[in-house]
Amino acid sequence: MSTHPDARRVLDAAPRQLYVAGAWRDAEGGATMPVEDPATGETLCEVADASVADGAAALDAAVAAQRDWAATPPNERSEVLHRAFTLMQERSDDLALLMTLEMGKSLAESRGEIAYAAEFFRWFTGEALRIDGYFKQAGNGQSRVLVMKQPVGPCLFITPWNFPAAMGTRKIAPAIAAGCTMVVKPAEQTPLSMLALARLLEDAGLPPGVLNVVPTSSSSELAKPLIADPRLRKLSFTGSTEVGRTLIAQASEQVLKTSMELGGNAPFVVFEDADLDAAVEQAMVAKMRNMGEACTSANRFHVQESVAEEFAARLTAKMQALTLGHGADEGTDVGPLIDADQRGKVAELVDDAVSKGATAVTGGGIRDGAGYFFEPTVLTGVPTDARLLKEEIFGPVAPIATFTTEEEAVAAANDTEFGLVAYLFTRDLSRALRVSEALETGMIGLNQGLVSNAGAPFGGVKQSGLGREGGNEGIAEYLETKYVAVKL
């Protein structure tokens, strides 16, 4: 484990039990599962490993709490969120360190995620007070149309390991604001951050049963009967498209309302008129945030031929200056990948590209020693048949391909089944608008490498998902529309 002076204190204080119906309790039969430090491969601790019966108990609690929570005044729901935002700020250092220990990212990045996660509590503090409908005269003048918005009901949230706090608050905050109860199944690799959020919300005054957290090593076994239960009314998942397809199929049996934030294959397009200094700086943000383990990570770089060599040289210099190490150690820029499987997938994609003619101008391999480290890598001369131009890398690898014309750039950027986010760098306003309209993605970073914002609608098109999280659109995912025809 890290030698950080607060590591043991923070780990010992972290909750490790299930949180069901407002109570902390062991899993059925006392079952536990290990939480690993990806920087060392060592076990940090054991947490409760929920069974199918534990999942059912969590849904029972959410269903039992739904009526009262839906009837809770918006002011009170808003106040819970505001207290949660304040507590998250107060506890940010400990929450960040806990995240680093179980997920691997640097403390600087963990602090950034905690700040981002807290913003969803702040944003939906206001949205809880802005749920509205309307009243109007019918066209025939003989009746009135009354439209209201009501909470959809009990929800199941399945959250990923790469942003274990923010992907939780992005779902939990709007559900609280809308008046929905929930069962949360965090990623097996990173349950501690979600359990810490449950404790924080308990301290913020969230009533028992509104939030229930059930970490498990048997995700599909626990989730499947919950999705099939007619009392569940919404499913929200963040993760791979492959798993998302399976969950959508399961959800269709109950015609569940679904939100899916799935895989990405983000193109990073640099035109010759771009500010190259800014493009390289933002490329580092878009590529190396979270060690490249982000659905929004720049997956492939399409650079106009006339500036490709210069862009690659500057990006390489930046990547070579990064320091690998334990995320909790001072001076670390790049932590480990989440586990051996993920590191193996990254290595396989790099090897495939190199075997087909790409050149690794820096990095390209697994670092020797403990932990799941992969070297920051830049590949040039990447051929069109390289798998990493089609598949999500989820690691610190920047493949660079070139284009000649604007039409070629757009075609290359859109040549994927995914459509989450794209990054576009140009100083030509007309080109920026043309290309932004032509790109088949739900989000675009125009001359910037970061699009995440609690006040903006996050989500994709094509096989990158359904629905939006955050922004004005975020709370709509947790509301149903009811129309009342009023006879005069």
Q: What is the rounded CA–CA span in Å between residue 360 and residue 438?
A: 31
Q: What is the rounded CA–CA span in Å between residue 485 and residue 146?
A: 6
Do residues 227 and 254 lie in contact, with contact meaning Cβ atoms separated by under 8 Å?
Answer: yes
Q: What is the rounded CA–CA span in Å between residue 446 and residue 15?
A: 41
CA distances, 346 to each of 342, 377, 381 (Å): 6, 11, 18
Do residues 360 and 352 lie in contact, with contact meaning Cβ atoms separated by under 8 Å?
Answer: no
CA distances, 275 to each of 251, 283, 302 (Å): 46, 12, 15
User: Which string of DSSP letters, residue by residue, matches 292-315?
Assistant: G-STTSEEEEEEEHHHHHHHHHHH
Q: What is the rounded CA–CA span in Å between residue 1 and residue 40?
A: 7
Q: What is the rounded CA–CA span in Å between residue 114 and residue 93?
A: 9
Residue 73 per-residue DSSP state: -
Which amino acid is residue 76, in one-letter code? Answer: E
397, 362, 283, 376: which is closest to 325 by C-alpha?
Answer: 376
Where are any strands of DSSP class E within 337-396? 359-362, 377-380
Tell me the torsion sign for CA atoms 214, 217, 222, 227: positive
Where are any strands of DSSP class E within 271-358? 298-304
Do residues 167 and 459 lie in contact, with contact meaning Cβ atoms separated by under 8 Å?
Answer: no
User: Which string of DSSP letters, residue by residue, matches 399-463?
Assistant: EEEEESSHHHHHHHHH-SSEESEEEEE-S-HHHHHHHHHHS-SSEEEES-S----TTS-B--EET
Do residues 231 and 55 lie in contact, with contact meaning Cβ atoms separated by under 8 Å?
Answer: no
CA 15 to chain centre: 22
Q: What is the rounded CA–CA span in Å between residue 189 and residue 339?
A: 9
Tell me the torsion sign for CA atoms 348, 351, 357, 361: positive
**Using only C-alpha atoms, what is the Rg of the chain?**
23
Which residues participate in catalysis according to the annotation? Answer: 261
